[in-house]
Amino acid sequence: MTGPRRASRGGRGERDPDHSPAGRERPVRPRGTAKDRALRLLGVRDRSRRELERRLLQAGFEQEEVAVALDALTAAGLIDDRRFAAAVTEHARTGRVAGRRSVVSSLLAKGVDRDTAERAAESLTPGETDRAEALASRQAARLRGVDPEKAFRRISGLLLRRGFAPGTAYAAARRAMGHPEEEDL
């Protein structure tokens, strides 16, 4: 470090409560309305009602103001958990390929109720094996020079992390490695 050192008050990392900004903070009122903030958040991407509620409360809006804003946006059709779940499911099918378990977990974490999440993820089930095999074969092409046992572990691990069922993941990894029989590598 170059230049003169400043004298500090207290020990390293400690602050004097009388001189800290936290000691004299006044409550900060967020700018704008809860509805405006929610509209800006929805302008970026669809969000679940619970996700919007968390973000607005975290921004400092009052619970009553948040509830009124979210009710108005729901009535206008801008907040719809079923539509949000369908968008997440479609992204898992075509964008960043993911399995059913991963999609359900993601939706639950974003505040979508279990029934809606399960119904949305049902559409992933028919082509899950095909999506797992496509992802496994893409990954296998990248791992051509790697030891087959190590490549199998990497591919099956990727598929498991992406939420594919263990049986599906291991079978897809075996086929991608050119070992369609049931033996584990």
Same domain, 90 and 112: yes
Compute the distance between CA of residue 45 and CA of residue 28 in angstroms, rounded to an integer.
Answer: 27
Which CATH number goes with the domain that contains 62?
1.10.10
Asked, for residue 66, whether it belongs to a domain, the answer is yes
Q: Which of 138, 130, 125 is nearest to 171 (CA)?
A: 130
The distance from CA 160 to its chain's CA centroid, rounded to whole angstroms, is: 16
Q: Is residue 68 part of a domain?
A: yes
Residue 45 lies in a domain: yes
Whether 15 is covered by a domain: the verdict is: no
Q: pLDDT in tens for each of the 185 residues of the chain?
A: 455 555 545 445 445 445 555 555 555 678 889 999 999 999 999 999 999 999 999 999 999 999 999 999 999 999 999 999 999 999 998 888 999 999 999 999 999 999 999 999 998 888 899 999 999 999 999 998 899 999 999 999 999 999 999 999 999 999 999 876 655 44
In a domain, 95, yes or no: yes
Q: What integer pLDDT is reported at residue 130 of this predicted model?
A: 92
Taking a C-beta distance cutoff of 8 angstroms, is the pair 176, 137 a contact?
yes
Pick left, alpha or beta for residue 77 (phi over 0 → left; psi -120 to 50 → alpha; otherwise beta). left
Whether 22 is in a domain gets the answer: no
| Structural domain boundaries, residue 93 | 81-124
Asked whether residue 118 falls in the same domain as residue 140, the answer is no
- Answer yes or no: do 119 and 134 share one domain: no
Does 70 lie in the same domain as 91? no
pLDDT of residue 127: 87
Do residues 83 and 46 lie in contact, with contact meaning Cβ atoms separated by under 8 Å? yes
Instruction: Verify that 119 and 135 share a domain, yes or no.
Output: no
181 domain-assigned: no
In a domain, 151, yes or no: yes
Handedness of CA 141, 147, 149, 154 (dihedral sign): negative
114 and 138 together in one domain:
no
How many domains is the chain partitioned into structurally? 3
